[in-house]
């Protein structure tokens, strides 16, 4: 997909969604249609942001209601949804499993039965794009926080998902690494849904949802949504 390709946003439909862990209801009555290219999610700790994010690629299924991604219901087409929607965890250590950076990046391709040379060239392109070529033979655990986050991102983007969900991608990073990850998100060809406390990350976003106690209490362009959020936090 080149930069000249018309961007087609993923359509995310959330229909009467409720989610409970045991008896504890953490999301209630959520109805949304998201078709923007950049969507931010903010809210206090425990307001249900991560739970919401995990519903988007079928990692988690709603207790009731439906999540439909480009026409695919996460309850019925989980595998297709997981291929369509990539998920980058907050703590990249959760996503790092192999002895070298190169193997970690290539991991997701294993199930795809690609010819060896195609696989190698995809790995090469992605290592290059995220500035990881020079550390390819190192253990992923030896990388800096920012590099680990880029590695987690590379491992997801190599699969060319239509949409990428990020759960607090800059929380563990210093300012410089946070800017690097923010630049990568800005440059993505895909739809990005980003859960964050880093409000600067949301400057160029089209839509920001504010969560409070399991509900969406504001849904607006970033400036208005964030001022609503800041007011609520005072
Ligand atoms: P946020 O991302 O906004 O901090 P979460 O979605 O992580 O919110 O959590 C919402 C609520 O659900 C919190 O009270 C949290 O303790 C609870 N919770 C989250 N994950 C689980 C789980 N796997 N089992 C039980 N409770 C959970």
Please list, in sequence order, all residues whose beta carbon lies within 8 angstroms of the beta carbon of residue 60, skipping any fewer than 6 positions away. Answer: 19, 51, 54
| Ligand 1 centre distance from Cα of residue 225 (Å) | 23
At 228, which CATH number?
3.40.50.300
User: Does residue 227 surpass a pLDDT of 50?
Assistant: yes
What's the domain range around 91? 12-233
Single out the residue of 140, 141, 201 nearest to residue 175, CA to CA: 201
| Closest atom of ligand 1 relative to the 214 alpha carbon | 10
Residue-wise pLDDT for 159-208, tens only, equals: 999 999 999 998 878 888 888 889 889 999 899 999 999 998 999 999 99
CA of 181 to the centre of ligand 1 (A): 25
Residue with tokens 């030896």: 142
| Pairing label, strands 38-43, 24-34 | unpaired
Ligand 1 nearest-atom number relative to CA 43 = 3
Closest atom of ligand 1 to 45 CA is 4
CA separation for the pair 6, 220 (Å, rounded)? 25
The answer to the question of residue 198 being in a domain is yes
Whether the complex's predicted ipTM is more than 0.85 is answered with yes
Q: Residue 5: inside a domain, yes or no?
A: no
Regarding predicted confidence, which is higher, 46 or 179?
Answer: 46
When divided into structural domains, the chain yields a total of 1
Within a domain: 2: no
Comparing 46-50, 178-182, 228-232, the range with the smallest average pLDDT is 178-182
Q: Is the model's pLDDT at 3 over the cut of 60?
A: no
Structural domain includes residue 4: no
> What residue owns the CA closest to ligand 1's atom 25?
21
Q: Among 26, 59, 171, say which to mutate for ligand 1: greatest number of ligand atoms within 8 Å of CB.
A: 26
75 near 15, Cβ under 8 Å? no
Report whether pLDDT(1) > 60. no
**Residue 67 located in a structural domain:** yes
Helix axis angle for 145-157 and 116-129, nearest 10°, is: 140
Ligand 1, atom 16, residue with closest C-alpha: 46
Residues linked to residue 167 through DSSP beta bridges, in sequence order: 195
Question: 32 to each of 35, 52, 128, 172, 209, how far by Cα in Å?
Answer: 10, 12, 37, 30, 10
Residue 177 in domain: yes
Pick the more confident residue, 153 or 41.
41
**Ligand 1 mean position to 50 CA, how many Å?**
7
Residue 7 confidence (pLDDT) above 80: no
Measured distance CA(212)–CA(18) in Å, rounded: 14
Ligand 1 cavity residues, CB under 6 Å = 21, 26, 43, 45-51
What is the pLDDT at residue 214?
97
Assess if residue 120 is contained within a domain: yes
pLDDT tens digits, 58-93: 999 999 999 999 999 999 999 999 999 999 987 667
Both structure tokens of 179? 């800017």
Nearest CA to ligand 1 atom 22: 21
Residue 50: Cβ within 10 Å count: 18
In order of 101, 107, 193, the CA distances from 136 in angstroms are: 5, 13, 28
Asked whether residue 180 is assigned to any structural domain, the reply reads yes
| Statement: residue 2 has pLDDT above 60 | no
Task: Give me the pLDDT at residue 148, please.
Answer: 87
pLDDT tens figures, 102-157: 999 998 888 788 888 999 999 999 999 888 999 999 998 888 888 888 898 899 99
């Amino acid at each position: 997909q080149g930069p000249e390709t018309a961007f087609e946003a993923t359509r995310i439909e959330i229909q009467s969604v409720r989610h409970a862990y045991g008896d504890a209801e953490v999301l209630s009555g959520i109805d949304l249609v998201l078709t923007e290219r950049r969507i931010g999610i903010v809210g206090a700790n425990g307001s249900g942001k991560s739970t919401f994010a995990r519903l988007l690629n079928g990692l988690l299924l709603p207790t009731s209601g439906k999540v439909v991604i480009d026409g695919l219901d996460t309850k019925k087409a989980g595998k297709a949804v997981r291929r369509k929607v990539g998920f980058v965890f907050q703590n990249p250590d959760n996503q790092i499993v192999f002895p070298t950076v190169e193997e970690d990046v290539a991991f997701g391709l294993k199930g795809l039965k690609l010819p060896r040379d195609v696989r190698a060239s995809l790995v090469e392109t992605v290592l290059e794009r995220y500035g990881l070529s020079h550390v390819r033979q190192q253990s992923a655990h030896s990388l800096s926080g920012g590099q680990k986050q880029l590695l987690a991102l590379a491992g997801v983007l190599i699969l060319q998902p239509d949409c990428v969900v990020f759960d607090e991608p800059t929380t563990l990073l210093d300012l410089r690494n946070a800017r690097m990850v923010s630049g990568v998100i800005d440059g993505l060809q895909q739809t990005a849904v980003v859960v964050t406390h880093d409000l600067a990350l949301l400057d160029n976003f089209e839509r920001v949802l504010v969560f409070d106690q399991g509900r969406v209490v504001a849904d607006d362009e970033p400036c208005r949504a964030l001022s609503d959020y800041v007011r609520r936090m005072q």
